[in-house]
Chains A and B, each alone.
Chain A
Amino acid sequence: MNIKRELPQNYGPAVRLAVISLVICGLVFPLVITGFAQLIFPSQANGSLVQFHGKTIGSSLIAQNFSLPIFFHPRNDSASGVDPDITVQDAYSQIPRIASATGISADKLQQIVDQNQEGTFWIFGTPYVNVLELNLALINQTGSSVYKNFR
């Protein structure tokens, strides 16, 4: 093979293929997926935003900051920094603080945690709860007056 002769022969097809693949993979594909996603799964496609009393207050998949003692707190040492979940054990350990800050009984709080528990696959992993959903349950289900500003 003569390299000097072969090289220029490749320029045309290589550039054409590069440009065509750019349009197909970089533009048409993501746009088509965006179209289908918005059509079939609009809620997920836009970030699983949570509506609460008519207002968007966050995403069920992204942890938000809770610092008041009357709420369950997310963890801040996870890989993503926005882990939306805590283990059930972690949630239980926060119950005494919330109980003393709100006056809600520990039994009631444990019941709410258990209702919101999500399972993992078989023995792999620990049961966990979504912190945002847990706190929305506190606001909605306990009827405690400490939460009245958040409704």
Chain B
Amino acid sequence: MIEKALKGEPRYWAWIFFLLSIIGVGFGCYLYQLSYGLGITGMSRDVSWGVYIAQFTYLVGVAASAVMLVIPMYLHHFKKYAKVVIFGEFLAIAAVTMCLLFIIVDIGQPARVLNVVLHPTPGSILFWDMVVLNGYLLINVIVGWNTLLADKKNVPTPGWVKPFIYLSIPWAVSIHTVTAFLYAGLPGRHLWLTAVMAPRFLASAFASGPALLILLLLLVRRFSKFDAGFDAIQTLAKTICYAMIINVFLLLMEFFTAYYSHIPGHIHGLEYLFFGLHGHDNLVPFMWTSAILGVLGIFLLLVPKLRMRYDLLAVACGAIFLATYIDKGVGLVIGGFVPNPFEGVTQYYPTFPELMITLGIWSIGALILTILYKIAVSVREETA
């Protein structure tokens, strides 16, 4: 099937080479980081995780969201997802790959990364994150590739793949739960020390991932003969809407607990993010943008007449994607380090090479996604 990725129109190749050039720039910046150290980033003693780990956290959610298609399709036999589910699985493959790359670029001694395997430490959540992420990647490669292969040959998916499909459901939940546990189990980081961290991660994941998927499916619809189908997209939009409402609800719970209890430590993190702390407010505009986009997205998705218009649906999905991205991919990780353990505020600004490395990894993800979607679309066009 791979040969389908090698045949395309000029604009397909233009896109591929555009991505490759960004990857090249990002790789160049990574070589610079390798020779100088992580000092090229904006991270510091106080904000010791930055944009890399934030992207990682966000993308684990995108990867986990494939389950929002797998559950209706395989547990409830919702046949309208039959042709779409592969796109969710391929999105998961691209997202997990990006997650792993963001971990690699974030660690100070990448050559020693196998120490996690050589000296396995079951007490460390990071060890389990490594296990579940690699497992999830493997499951999705097996399931995605074999279902597509079966589709191409017009035969039912082989029986041995089924257990992997069912396994992928709890596994998807596990990757984001474990990722939440990275944060939620740390004493002394008030913003993160919350029992709703994992539920909120899952809720925002099940909004952000499908939102990105709808945007991608609308693009596919525009650039190819494959249409995911109105009903499939509308059902997915409803999933996003519910998940986003739960996400916002859980965020409001955080506000209540912090501000009603009046415990300073619990208030400070939220205060820094949404109102500014001791005059430091570099994330305030971002967080309010996120809040406004989130509400806008929910409104557009909640009203059926608006949701059914593809242009407004695209706006809604874009809004939800950005809202959750800012919330989890910017605010959550950086906000957890502010204030620092001494109640001081150190602000974090990513540097140019840091952003280029980040963009480079997103481009690798986009490249993987483009190639996988090209194959999937070609197969769909053939069998249509």
A and B from one assembly?
A: no
Residues of A within 8 A of B (CB): none
